[in-house]
Amino acid sequence: MASLNKVFLIGNLTRDPELRFTPSGTAVANIGIAVNNRYQDNSGNWVDEPNYFTVVAWGRQAELSNEHLRKGSPILVEGRLQWRSWETPDGQKRSVVEVVANRVQFLNKAAGRGEESMAESADADLQALGEGDFDDIPF
């Protein structure tokens, strides 16, 4: 049986990236992002429900993220989910599911050109999908 572990997220940073380096000198950044789940409640009002994720970027992507991204920056992340566990010094077991980035795309507007950003375009597409009728989707 085949399996697939692929994630695409568009959201905004919840904090500045946290850059550090492995003992061998490889850059790694933890990037916190918030992604809204938009739905219509029973009263017909649109509700944005935030979901929070930690994205782990490696190498040059980690360095560029640290240089160019700040809290609130819009990004698109393509990656995979990874579960890891560890034991704290006092013996408690901990685990976390993170998104390991294959690609981090900055979605800011082009400086001074007034062009629509990829984030605004994607948000408009997602909003249109949320308002559509899904009865004719074949899956």
Query: What pLDDT, in 10s, does the model give residues 10-49?
Result: 999 999 999 999 999 999 999 999 999 999 999 999 999 9
| φ, ψ (nearest 5 deg) of residue 11 | -165, -165
Residue 107 has pLDDT above 70, yes or no: yes
Q: What value does the mean pLDDT take over residues 76-85?
A: 96
What are the sequence ranges of the domains in the chain?
Answer: 7-130
In CATH terms, the superfamily for domain 7-130 is Nucleic acid-binding proteins (2.40.50.140)
Q: What local confidence, expressed as pLDDT, does residue 1 receive?
A: 85
Helix ranges (H only) for the chain are 59-68, 118-130
Residue 136 has pLDDT above 90, yes or no: no
Q: What local confidence, expressed as pLDDT, does residue 108 receive?
A: 79
At residue 109 the predicted structure's pLDDT band, cuts being 50, 70 and 90, is low
Q: What value does the mean pLDDT take over residues 80-84?
A: 96
- How many of the other CB atoms lie within 10 Å of CB of 109? 14
Q: How far is it, in rounded angstroms, from Cα 1 to Cα 26?
A: 35
